[in-house]
Structure 1
Amino acid sequence: MILIISAAHIISVFTTFDSHIENIKIIDNLTSLKISTTGLLYASQYHPQDLPTLIQQIDTQLANEPLFQSSWFNTQQINQTNQKLANQWAEIHSTIDQLRFTETEVLLPAFYDSLDNIVKQYQVLAKKKIHIIHLAEFISFLITMMIGVTLYLYSKKQIVQPIKQLLKNVQAIKAHQFDLPYPYPSNEIGVLSQGIKDTSSELDHLISTMQKQVSEQTVALEKANQTIEFLYSISQQLSTVKLTSPILYNALNALARQANLDKLCLELNNGTFINSEHGCAGIDQRMRSIPIIINGKPFGFLNYVLKQGARDQYALIESFTGLVARALYQEEHSLQAQKILLMEERNIIARELHDSIAQSLSFLNIQCTLLHRQVDHSQQQAQQTIGNIEEAVSDAYIQLRSLLSTFRLSVTESNFKEALLTMIKTLQKQTAAPITIKQFESYFYTDASQHIHLLQIVREAIINAIKHSQCSHIEISCIITDQHKVWISIIDDGQGIVNNSEKDNHYGLSIMKQRADELGATLSFNSLIQGTEVKLIFPYKKSILNQGAEND
């Protein structure tokens, strides 16, 4: 627009200015014509001989003044004056040609006045053109100034301010501030602003997503670290001390808190149930079970119930069951090792007894027999003394053989019931009376030393029934009462305890009572209507499990 206006202004100025110059030339020509007219008047009075030259000069000047036409101004009056001037000159020219100089002198002043009038008209026209030029310049300046102000305001609003806002937004985006206002002018800056906004939104989304992922990974790592610490703590608890019910109870409670469980319990194959403080999961329909197994050997199941809406941490619970399985396996392996060491020690003692005392007693028994033959039968007192010595040596030899059998008892089974069945199978060969188990608690178990003491007490009671009761049936029972007491009874249907039983079994009964005392148990021998009952009673958790505390 500025270029168009400038071009129009220049064209109009040049056109008007050329016309103005043309008018000035006409005015100059008319002025010269006035001077020539004055010379013509002077020549007509004083120098008539100069008239032809002056007339020719005036004709030439008048011939260069055509009619003036303009679309901007009214030139009718000028054209009429030009026409009148041409007519006056024609009349003057005629009077001069006819040598009527007097008329010429009369017509020349009017012609001069016409020239003066037309000069004034052209001067007025020149002033109008100058005014038009000034007006055109003022209008052009005004329009240019308005366009300039408009461009200034437009650029400030549509260009400068949006660019400043975009610069601020870029700085804010560098500072991770994305919730910003954006300008939307209807030009290229608006497109650029929209592009920056889209980029900012995408960056905001990417950064938010990355922060969320980092936060989730941090939480996951923290949970994993807590899980590792928990499993390490449980592993330490289960492996550094003897495995007991309170330890498993505390471990279950820790797992319930860590895995957000509602109920949790441990069910072992030996019949043991250990519940957490939240209760047993076995009666809940939502119960889930994980087998406790290691090296292909099952030990039981871990039963649990999730809290409402809680996430199932199966990996954690499975790892926990692996630790429990390993602890149970190590405990069983430790029991086996203790039993093996104990049996090896007993075998060594038995071998030493057999190689020393047993041979000595056999030698004494042979010597008593020879002495009995060498002493005269008339010496009854000596014979009686020799008989007493021989009976005592025989009794000592029998007791020693029994002790050797006890020491050489092989206990290969870690489960008490299985070991008892193995022992019954061996003793069954010594009698025709069937030896059976009437009742037995399946979840009853012992440690190594208790295992041996209980088997020896039961074995001694069975051997006494076989040797002295003349029974037809022997029954063994093992029950656990509601007061957590273990009752082990051996009942035969023989002749019962006779008066000499104490004497005959003096050493066997004493050893049985001594073993019962080591167990902290009560050993009793009860006569029944038919037969005898040997009963052993002791606390289950305190002695057998070595728990040291109740977990109920």
Structure 2
Amino acid sequence: MIVKRSVTRSIAQALSAIVLLALLTTGLALMTLSSSLRDAEAINLAGSLRMQSYRLAWDSNSAPQQLSQHLQEYQQTLDKPALRDLDRPWVPQEVIGRYQHLRNAWPVLQQQLQHGDARLYQQQVANYVGEIDRFVMGLQRYSERKMELVAASSLLGVIAIVALALTTIRFTRRQVVRPLNALVTASRYVESGNFAFPPLVVEQDNELRVLAHTFSAMASRLHSHHQALASAVEEKTRDLQEANRTLSLLYESSQMLTASPLSAALIEAAMAQVCEREQLRVLVLESEHARFAVGESDPAQPWHSVPLQQDDEHIGSLRWQSAQAEPRMALMQSLANMLSRTVWIWQTQKQVQQMLLIEERATIARELHDSLAQALSFMRIQLTLLRRTLTTPDSAAQNIIADFDRTLADAYRQLRELLATFRLTIEQADLVAAMQAMIASLQEQVTAKISFSFQPGLETLDAQQQVHLLQIAREAVLNAIRHASAETISVRYERNNQGEHLLTITDDGVGIASTEEPEGHYGLTTMSERAARLAGELSIQALGRGTQVALRFPPRADVISSR
């Protein structure tokens, strides 16, 4: 390929033009400035002529002995080279004319002074000084125009130099820098094993076009040999990266679930990590006894799901919506298997904890039944025998025996209720079913309508929290049945935006008169103690009709042992 237009020659021509233009601009400025070297002196001399004119007027009246000397000085000033050199072709005619007018008018004034005609001189000196002033103004304008000429020529020179420099830079960028950058980019593509670099386009027939053509031909030949190998390596790398990302996510999720005791918050945290890593909009885990959701769903987006299985048995599903790319189904299935196992272990742990609590409470109930209940029964039998052995109708003794009998009956009834409370069970770690069973057993004994409603959240409670919540609900319902004469009793559980648990028991009975319990009754006190173990608050208030018992406690309450 023939080089028709050399890049180096074009750049050298442009640089030569810039240098030449700079020399012309500088030369013009220097010539103008050199012609202005005596402008200040000329202006000063013209101003001196004005002062000397007034001084001659003074001498004609007050100091005639100095008049001759001052006339000579005035003539010397008027003939100074700085003023006489104004008669040049480039000097404005206005300045030359005013200077010639001053020279022509001066001999007339000089003769008036020499002849002693001071009065006539003083009459004409004002007009003469005015001509001097106009001459000074002309000199000033002439000097200013020369400065303006210097500034304009310099500005035009700078603009021309900048324009030529920008043109040279543009030419260099288009004809040199851009092709070189393209060559560098292409070389980096080739260095990384990618031969599909952008086309190397050079408009001019110069050295760089030859280089680009040669490089493209070389890269094309290399690409044909390297393409197959690069494709294979890229495919293997992509598969390994995807597998590594999947294993990393499963490992981190597994570590998070095993590093701390299992809880609802821990499971939701692991699901949130999956949402963040896989860019999911929402992730929902649904099983027989629990439901966990992270994120917000979009009705316009489709749902995807995989089943949850435990020992080849379908126990729920894992559903999600993707924000961007769809995650691999194998990853989501592995994640579903891990989460289903985790939920099963968590439910099993809760069930074991509840069974331990129930067994302990059953042991206490048996001990109470075998000891205190038997003792109370024996005392009632003995009291009956004592009443029969009294042969005389002593009313005071009979009253004491009757009071003692009523007290024993109340104590025995409270003991039976306590034993029934201890024997409450929560099967399969399902608090909802336990609440429904408790309400059903009480519904069979009364005519009042007892209802139970709930929102998701009960499954997140641990064994201690579930037992306390069930006991508080039972005690509040029993109080409404015994003391309120209520027709409807409502038990409701909900969870607010802050994650707090709220249990309310409302009846339409006569309403509670006071929260102070009578002697020998401990129901309200026990409920308050259980609320404290939940790190919560228990409030009891009378409504317009009926009473409302409200329990509020935080999601991660440090529950104290129910022993």
TM-score band by shorter chain is: 0.5 to 0.7
Deviations 1:428-477 (A, max 9, x none): 1211222122x421443321111111111111122222223333222222
Deviations 1:127-168 (A, max 9, x none): xxxxxxxxxxxxxxxxxxxxxxxxxxxxxxxxxxxxxxxxxx
CA-CA distance at 1:402 after TM superposition: 0.8
Report the AA paired with residue 280 of structure 1: E
Matches within 5 A, 1:304-383: 304-307=321-324, 310=325, 312-375=327-390, 379-383=394-398
CA-CA distance at 1:504 after TM superposition: 6.9
Q: Is the 8 A contact 1:413 1:419 kept in 2?
A: no
Q: Is the 8 A contact 1:268 1:299 kept in 2?
A: yes
Q: Which segment drifts farther, 468-477 or 328-337?
A: 468-477
CA-CA distance at 1:327 after TM superposition: 0.9
Distance 2:513 2:390 in 1: 35
Q: 2:450 pairs with 430, 435, 451, which one?
A: 435
- Corresponding residue for 1:466? 481
Distance 1:467 1:417 in 2: 24
Distance 2:300 2:428 in 1: 35
- Corresponding residue for 2:284? 266
- Corresponding residue for 2:552? 537
Runs of at least 5 residues in structure 2 that lack an aligned partner in the other structure:
1-194, 196-219
Distance 1:420 1:465 in 2: 16
TM-score by length of 1: 0.54
Q: 2:296 pairs with 243, 259, 280, which one?
A: 280
- Corresponding residue for 2:315? 298
Matched, 1:416 2:431: yes
Distance 1:253 1:447 in 2: 21
- Corresponding residue for 1:238? 257
Report the AA paired with residue 223 of structure 1: E
Runs of at least 5 residues in structure 1 that lack an aligned partner in the other structure:
1-178, 180-200, 547-552
Q: What SS is found at the alignment partner of 1:543?
A: coil
CA-CA distance at 1:262 after TM superposition: 4.7
Q: Is the 8 A contact 1:490 1:535 kept in 2?
A: yes
Q: What SS is found at the alignment partner of 2:509?
A: coil
- Corresponding residue for 1:93? none
CA-CA distance at 1:396 after TM superposition: 2.0
Report the AA paired with residue 232 of structure 1: Y
Q: 1:252 pairs with 268, 271, 284, which one?
A: 271
Q: What SS is found at the alignment partner of 2:522?
A: helix
Deviations 1:59-117 (A, max 9, x none): xxxxxxxxxxxxxxxxxxxxxxxxxxxxxxxxxxxxxxxxxxxxxxxxxxxxxxxxxxx
- Corresponding residue for 2:416? 401
- The structure with the larger Rg is 1
Q: Is the 8 A contact 1:447 1:544 kept in 2?
A: no
Q: What SS is found at the alignment partner of 1:242?
A: coil
Distance 1:238 1:203 in 2: 52
Q: Is the 8 A contact 1:377 1:383 kept in 2?
A: no
Report the AA paired with residue 497 of structure 1: I
CA-CA distance at 1:412 after TM superposition: 1.3
Distance 1:265 1:289 in 2: 10
Q: Is the 8 A contact 1:399 1:507 kept in 2?
A: no
Distance 1:249 1:436 in 2: 31
Q: What SS is found at the alignment partner of 1:506?
A: coil
CA-CA distance at 1:363 after TM superposition: 0.5
Report the AA paired with residue 285 of structure 1: Q
Q: Is the 8 A contact 2:425 2:434 kept in 1?
A: no
- Corresponding residue for 1:426? 441
Q: What SS is found at the alignment partner of 1:417?
A: helix
In the comparison of the two structures, how many residue pairs are matched? 340
Distance 1:204 1:545 in 2: 70
Q: 2:541 pairs with 510, 526, 542, which one?
A: 526
Q: What do you get for the CA RMSD once the two structures are aligned?
A: 3.5
CA-CA distance at 1:246 after TM superposition: 4.2
Distance 2:263 2:300 in 1: 26
Q: Is the 8 A contact 2:283 2:293 kept in 1?
A: yes
Q: 1:512 pairs with 527, 532, 542, which one?
A: 527
Report the AA paired with residue 282 of structure 2: L
Distance 1:341 1:528 in 2: 39
CA-CA distance at 1:241 after TM superposition: 2.5
CA-CA distance at 1:407 after TM superposition: 1.0
Report the AA paired with residue 330 of structure 1: I
Report the AA paired with residue 263 of structure 1: R
Q: Is the 8 A contact 2:306 2:318 kept in 1?
A: yes
Report the AA paired with residue 512 of structure 2: I
Distance 2:303 2:382 in 1: 75
Deviations 1:197-233 (A, max 9, x none): xxxx999978864564355334423432342233123
Distance 2:487 2:319 in 1: 45
Distance 1:486 1:367 in 2: 49
Matched, 1:217 2:240: no
Q: Which segment drifts farther, 250-259 or 464-473?
A: 250-259
Q: 1:369 to 1:513 in 2, by over 3 A?
A: farther
Distance 2:408 2:363 in 1: 23
